Homo-oligomer: A and B are copies of this chain.
Amino acid sequence: MEFRPPAPRYLQVAEHLREAILRGDYKPGEALPGEPQLAQRYNLSRPTIRQAIAALRTEGLVAAEHGRGTFVRERRPVLQVSSAYLTQGAQWADQHPGLVASQVIREVVEVPATDEVAVALHLVGETRVVVRRRLMLVDDDPVQLADSYYPAELVRDTPIADPAKLPGGTIAALKRLGLTLDRFEEYVATRMPAPDEIRTLRLAEGVPVIVLSWVAYAEGDTPVEYSVATLNGERHRLKYEFPAQP
């Protein structure tokens, strides 16, 4: 005979509130009752009520705002990222009418390569790289951090090493240097964000990030760009298309 100990009270409260939210008793954007009020209603102490709400927060179901209340999360539109933006320079905005994309160049500097970067760019000996750190925004919401690394010898004293926006993106800028790109390798992973990423991307609690990284190879299988983008996992969906017969 299976024996099930009763769930802790804070989980019972969390479950009760979760059902109420999913049933629509509390709608997206609406506030839950205050913590003291919930404590009275369930006949529990406020810390226990907070524990219940903490569970809902890590699920991403509600978000607390200091001094205002605890609100049922609204789901914002999902942004679709297609691999075509690499190969065809397809503009992201084409697929998202009505949304305004912009970017902030946070830093463009020459630095020694980390091991990860050196391996990706096949660097030996001369291991200095130029890194462009950017923050991408959609309708003024930060949605993506993107760092692109280039061998310093290749891009020193070119527009890529200059802290100004590159018209048409980094891929177009590489082509203007006379490079013929051959192929891309792209990797997708996921993890929970670090505290600074939570701040910069304004991530809600319990929202993972997508880590999208790629290497652009020029002819002769020479890597010329290594990029790592950190995407708000809640707002992005990646799309790939390929033929069945390669």
CB within 8 Å of B: which residues of A? 47, 58-60, 78, 83-84, 86-88, 180-192, 194, 206-210, 216, 233-234, 236-246
Contact = CB atoms under 8 A, between A and B. Distances in A.
B190 A210 contact: yes
**Copies of this chain present:** 2
A182 B240 contact: no
A84 to B, nearest CB: 8
Could you say which of A59, A187, A189, A244 has the most chain B C-beta atoms within 10 Å of its C-beta? A244
13 contacts: A58-B192, A59-B192, A87-B242, A180-B244, A183-B244, A184-B242, A184-B243, A186-B241, A186-B242, A187-B238, A189-B233, A190-B190, A192-B208
Given A87-B242, A208-B208, A234 B191 contact: yes
Contacts of A183: 241-244
A237 B184 contact: no
Contact of A185 (B186, B187, B234, B241): B241
A17 to B, nearest CB: 13
Contact of A238 (B188, B206, B246): B188
Contacts of A206: 58, 192
Given A83-B240, A183-B242, 14 more contacts: A47-B47, A78-B189, A86-B244, A182-B244, A183-B243, A184-B241, A185-B240, A187-B239, A188-B238, A188-B240, A189-B237, A190-B190, A190-B210, A190-B233
